[in-house]
Structure 1
């Protein structure tokens, strides 16, 4: 049943995505804020499909900790799930993402409409300058800048691999940073089509006020995200009947 439900969900998810990509074509003519509300509606439909077909609920706690206006959102990244789940709880989100995603037909066009912030990883220090200027402009217009500090998906329980881009943004934006922890990779493993039934937990943590020294912030944001994510990881393992994790890498972490 796990394989059947996972297969059915994946088909429904991508059919729904394609339909929304087509339906959103006229949205190029509407204001960006209206466009973002439509994107949030798509995200809600995707979460509904995940719950109804795969039996995977997504519970997001700590929404009340999100301050109004501009902010930097530093989130754990374990699966594709959080890339759309996070937009359902933020007022006007945008993403830091690799420039190549902007080149994908339709999908990339919508990223441009949403005024996402691309980064050219081959441009070195110039990329940080350009990214920061764009992100600061968006934050000053009241937007929440979402960044995955590790740069790519990491298996649940894997050692952290944070990059200094998040500290660079924090230091230059002058806005609070909202850490976000989760255990999504247990239920939506990277590079696999399996969707495990259960409860994905995403937790918004206490904001980090602007003004901390760069290195102090870098250590603090890691400690908060990793501490909470490890706790949620253990909760998820218990729900899935896996028991407490050991020092050796589990089969789920290798997924």
Structure 2
């Protein structure tokens, strides 16, 4: 049975975190409306607040491993919960995300995502969505930055297996930029759904970059192998055995 005191602390943490998002969104709105820099500083402020309060309110410490990407690169990341978004955004200098189109209409998040140059994707249109994504990324590439894509297309619970989508390879081929795989174990402590937050060390690790020029099939195979194997290692380090979760076929 989960600790009721930790559950209450988790509820208080989540409540104040989203309240802080709303307050910062309002306070920075005039600056963000005038300049993307204002939007980025607002989001960085929220990320740092969330990470700081997570540490002392619910006992989640965070760590970034590997060389933090800079310049124009693609980051192909494992996605387990909102926490890996916060950690990556706080770590890299100029992040923008490939994100579900419907998120662009959410309060605060949608407004700031547009100002940061995030790229919306309609997941229901497959080939057409991929072609439009590449076009939109090129259109938004006026300033150097780090483009984050979640290759599985959604949050994946620790131990669950979902296929990697071809959109990452299409971006990699079209942009001709290095791709930095990113592994994580954050879902062990901050799940994709629910309130309870478990104390421990949540890690995002940037792996060795994959340079342009790898053939599509080989690129996808290497990306999935590297991200999944390292994420499994990080989860085991956190005391979670991913292979113990039954898989549905």
TM-score, length of structure 1 as denominator length: 0.89
Unaligned 5+ segments in structure 1 are: none
State whether structure 2 residue 34 is matched by structure 1 residue 30.
yes
Q: How does 1:85-234 map to 2 (within 5 A)?
A: 85-139=87-141, 141-234=143-236
Q: Is the 8 A contact 2:96 2:147 kept in 1?
A: yes
DSSP 3-state at the match of 2:238: helix
Query: After the TM superposition, which residues 239-250 of structure 1 pair with which residues of structure 2 at under 5 Å, given as runs?
Result: 245=241, 247-249=243-245
Once the two structures are overlaid, the 10-residue window that deviates more, 42-51 or 22-31, is 22-31
Question: Is 2:12 the counterpart of 1:8?
Answer: yes
Superposition deviation, residue 124 in structure 1: 3.1
| Residue aligned with 1:188, SS | coil
Q: In 1, distance between residues paired with 2:101 and 2:14? A: 26
In the TM superposition, what is the alpha-carbon distance from 1:136 to its structure 2 partner? 3.0
Rounded Cα–Cα distance in structure 2 between residues aligned with 1:97 and 1:29: 21
Structure-2 change in CA distance of 1:233 and 1:131 (3 Å): same
Mapped to 2, the partners of 1:205 and 1:124 lie a distance apart of 28
Aligned counterparts, 1:49-68, within 5 A = 49-62=53-66, 64-66=67-69, 68=70
Cα distance, 1:32 vs structure 2: 1.0
Per mean C-alpha deviation after superposition, the further-off stretch among 75-84 and 138-147 is: 138-147
**SS of equivalent to 2:177:** coil
The answer to whether the 8 Å contact 2:25/2:42 transfers is no
> Cα distance 1:128–1:246, how it changes in 2: closer, same or farther (>3 A)?
closer
User: Is the 8 Å Cα contact of residues 180 and 206 (structure 2) preserved in structure 1?
Assistant: yes
Tell me by how many angstroms 1:180 deviates: 0.5
Counting matched residue pairs gives 244
Partner Cα distance (1:223, 1:32) in 2: 36
Distance of 2:107 and 2:146 partners within structure 1: 25
